[in-house]
Amino acid sequence: MSSKLFDLSGRRALITGSSQGIGFALAEGLIEAGASVVLNGRDEGKLAEASARLGGAATLAFDVTDHDGVRAAVDSAEAEGMAFDILINNAGMQHRTELQDFPADAFERLLQTNIASVFHVGQAVARHMISRKAGKIINIASVQSALARPGIAPYTATKGAVANLTKGMATDWAKYGLQCNAIAPGYFDTPLNAALVADPEFSAWLEKRTPAGRWGKVDELQGAAVFLSSAASSFVNGHTLYVDGGITASL
């Protein structure tokens, strides 16, 4: 099989929430495969630091929950010649509280950050991809797209929605030459999971519950992202790829 199938040379990827954690790791992986990457976040200072760590990667600061702001930023970038061949909707947040006590404002923030943002950025970028008859959209789902744990019911709801919105994107946009898929990470050692990583009881439970017997490392998501960004996945559409050490396959 030719390695050209996975070659991203000449492709440009926009990755939301990419100043740290999974988004930053995915940026590293795509750059290694030959792509140029545009980092996104709200904090320009963090973006500048992340850009420097990646050898001066381009940045595009905007709030993924602001529909008009997203559209303006994407349209402006495209007008200046920064066409996006790949979009990775990675921005997300977590809030842990038992459902009966879950704050309504936290629930709304989860909806806006984890699912509305996928619509806002996905639509803004897809409009340009459609005109070019080509594009790759990758949404970051979760094992919580299929499973639930105590204390994170609203997060679970948002990630289930991400998986289904991915199917809807594929259904509407495949005819225009777009492939829209999702990656569903299991439990990875990231800033979002810092409290769990620091909890010996939880880590012990996770190691027993996961067939691979450990936390995931963020660079282990890079291969899936490169595959779904490349010509190798030209007939893969509406799929959610679980990268979870086997946790969703085992009781």
User: Is the separation of the CB atoms in 222 and 26 below 8 Å?
Assistant: yes
* Contact yes or no for 37/31 (Cβ under 8 A): yes
Residue 82 backbone zone (phi > 0: left; psi -120 to 50: alpha; other: beta): beta
The residue from 155, 176, 187, 242 that is catalytic is 155
Instruction: Answer yes or no: 155 catalytic.
Output: yes
The pair of structure tokens assigned to 155 is: 């997060």
Rounded CA separation 238/251 (Å): 26
Structural contact between residues 98 and 150, judged by C-beta atoms closer than 8 angstroms: yes
Q: How far apart are CA 200 and CA 158, in angstroms?
A: 27
* Closest by CA position to 158, among listed 95, 213, 205: 95
- Distance from C-alpha of 219 to C-alpha of 198, rounded to nearest angstrom: 20
Question: What string of DSSP letters covers 74-101?
Answer: HHHHHHTT---SEEEE---------GGG
Tokens 């890079």 correspond to 222
Catalytic residues: 155
